[in-house]
Amino acid sequence: MLDKLIEEGRLLHQRIEEHFRSGAEALPPEERISVPELEAWYKGVSHVLESQFGIESVEARLWREGLERIRKESWEGVGRLRH
Protein backbone atom coordinates (compact mmCIF):
# COMPACT_ATOMS: atom_id res chain seq x y z
CA MET A 1 0.00 0.00 0.00
CA LEU A 2 2.80 2.41 0.86
CA ASP A 3 4.51 1.71 -2.48
CA LYS A 4 1.29 2.60 -4.28
CA LEU A 5 1.03 5.87 -2.37
CA ILE A 6 4.66 6.68 -3.16
CA GLU A 7 3.96 6.17 -6.87
CA GLU A 8 0.80 8.31 -6.61
CA GLY A 9 2.91 10.97 -4.87
CA ARG A 10 5.40 10.96 -7.71
CA LEU A 11 2.60 11.42 -10.22
CA LEU A 12 1.11 14.24 -8.14
CA HIS A 13 4.53 15.88 -7.98
CA GLN A 14 4.84 15.75 -11.76
CA ARG A 15 1.37 17.26 -12.15
CA ILE A 16 2.19 20.00 -9.64
CA GLU A 17 5.40 20.86 -11.51
CA GLU A 18 3.44 21.11 -14.77
CA HIS A 19 0.77 23.14 -13.00
CA PHE A 20 3.29 25.77 -11.93
CA ARG A 21 5.44 25.66 -15.05
CA SER A 22 2.62 26.68 -17.37
CA GLY A 23 0.57 28.64 -14.84
CA ALA A 24 -2.61 27.49 -13.16
CA GLU A 25 -4.92 29.19 -15.61
CA ALA A 26 -3.13 27.66 -18.61
CA LEU A 27 -4.25 24.16 -17.67
CA PRO A 28 -7.79 22.89 -18.27
CA PRO A 29 -9.75 22.46 -15.02
CA GLU A 30 -9.53 18.65 -15.15
CA GLU A 31 -5.71 18.84 -15.15
CA ARG A 32 -5.37 21.26 -12.25
CA ILE A 33 -4.36 20.03 -8.82
CA SER A 34 -7.14 20.55 -6.31
CA VAL A 35 -6.65 21.04 -2.59
CA PRO A 36 -9.07 18.17 -1.81
CA GLU A 37 -7.08 15.86 -4.11
CA LEU A 38 -3.83 16.72 -2.34
CA GLU A 39 -5.44 16.49 1.11
CA ALA A 40 -6.84 13.04 0.24
CA TRP A 41 -3.35 11.87 -0.66
CA TYR A 42 -1.94 13.28 2.58
CA LYS A 43 -4.69 11.51 4.52
CA GLY A 44 -3.94 8.21 2.75
CA VAL A 45 -0.25 8.41 3.60
CA SER A 46 -1.09 9.30 7.21
CA HIS A 47 -3.42 6.31 7.47
CA VAL A 48 -0.87 3.87 6.05
CA LEU A 49 1.96 5.15 8.27
CA GLU A 50 -0.23 4.97 11.38
CA SER A 51 -1.47 1.47 10.43
CA GLN A 52 2.00 0.14 9.64
CA PHE A 53 4.05 1.79 12.36
CA GLY A 54 1.58 3.03 14.98
CA ILE A 55 0.03 6.41 15.67
CA GLU A 56 2.87 7.53 17.95
CA SER A 57 5.69 6.06 15.86
CA VAL A 58 8.61 8.16 14.70
CA GLU A 59 7.46 7.72 11.09
CA ALA A 60 3.91 8.92 11.71
CA ARG A 61 5.06 11.77 13.95
CA LEU A 62 7.61 13.02 11.39
CA TRP A 63 4.94 12.90 8.67
CA ARG A 64 2.47 14.91 10.80
CA GLU A 65 5.15 17.45 11.75
CA GLY A 66 6.12 17.79 8.10
CA LEU A 67 2.51 18.43 7.10
CA GLU A 68 2.15 21.05 9.82
CA ARG A 69 5.31 22.79 8.60
CA ILE A 70 4.19 22.68 4.96
CA ARG A 71 0.84 24.20 5.84
CA LYS A 72 2.35 26.89 8.05
CA GLU A 73 5.00 27.90 5.54
CA SER A 74 2.61 27.92 2.60
CA TRP A 75 0.19 30.24 4.40
CA GLU A 76 3.01 32.53 5.52
CA GLY A 77 3.72 33.32 1.86
CA VAL A 78 0.13 34.13 0.90
CA GLY A 79 -0.17 37.73 -0.17
CA ARG A 80 3.57 38.38 -0.40
CA LEU A 81 5.08 39.68 -3.57
CA ARG A 82 8.43 38.36 -4.71
CA HIS A 83 10.78 40.67 -6.58
* Residue 43: per-residue pLDDT: 93
Read off the pLDDT band of 31 (50, 70, 90): confident
* Residue 63 pLDDT > 80: yes
Sign of the alpha-carbon dihedral angle for 72, 53, 13, 42: negative
Sign of the alpha-carbon dihedral angle for 83, 67, 13, 30: negative
Regarding pTM above 0.85, the answer is: no
